[in-house]
Amino acid sequence: MHLAEGRPEEAVQLLTRLLVVAEAGGWMGDVIEILALQALALQAQGASTAAFTTLGRALALAEPEGYVRIFVDEGASMAALLAHSAEGRAQSDPLLIYIELLLRAFPEPLRQAQLVRGSRLEGSDALVEPLSERELEVLRLLAAGLESPEIARELIIGVSTARTHIKNIYGKLGVHGRVQAIERARALGLVRP
């Protein structure tokens, strides 16, 4: 909840306490899940180095057991974090194959959203912050020509919520309007031409 509400500091604090309990109990599945969430929270705080270190620990524990869902269930943010992590690894890194396997397990729209090509992120076009699954839905409706009220009806959300999603999309794409957003989204492969 803390992550979803945009409070990563509180998420990190809670996850740190939970990690101690899970490690003491020897609950490795929980440890891996907590580490994955902690990596996302650290990334949301802007602590990229700590996020990659924590993610690396989660991956090292998860790989021998073949965990996939723990990572895939975290959605677009995890896809982006994994893709960035893959960029920084040498070809000889044994975890690189596991990361590539995880990236292939994400649904196609998320892979496209993170610009994963051959299991590598194209850094030059990467989004500063990945679009959420809801933002991807709103973006597709924008590209289809729908206005805020129509998007709200389609997604069964408030008009102000639709407008907030649109504003967030513009910010994440680095654009100032609908036409620019659609052009950028098409260039990134987020929506079809």
Mean pLDDT score across all residues of the chain? 83
pLDDT, one tens digit per residue, over 97-140 is 888 888 888 776 655 555 443 333 333 344 556 778 888 899 99
148-171 per-position pLDDT tens digit = 999 999 999 999 999 999 998 888
Question: Is a pLDDT exceeding 80 seen at residue 74?
Answer: yes
Q: Distance between CA atoms of 110 and 130, rounded to whole angstroms?
A: 9
Return residue ranges of the chain for CATH 1.10.10.10: 133-188
pLDDT at 118: 37
Kind plus residue range of the DSSP H or E element containing 120: strand 120-121
Topology of domain 133-188 in CATH is: Arc Repressor Mutant, subunit A (1.10.10)
Distance CA 118, CA 191 (A): 19
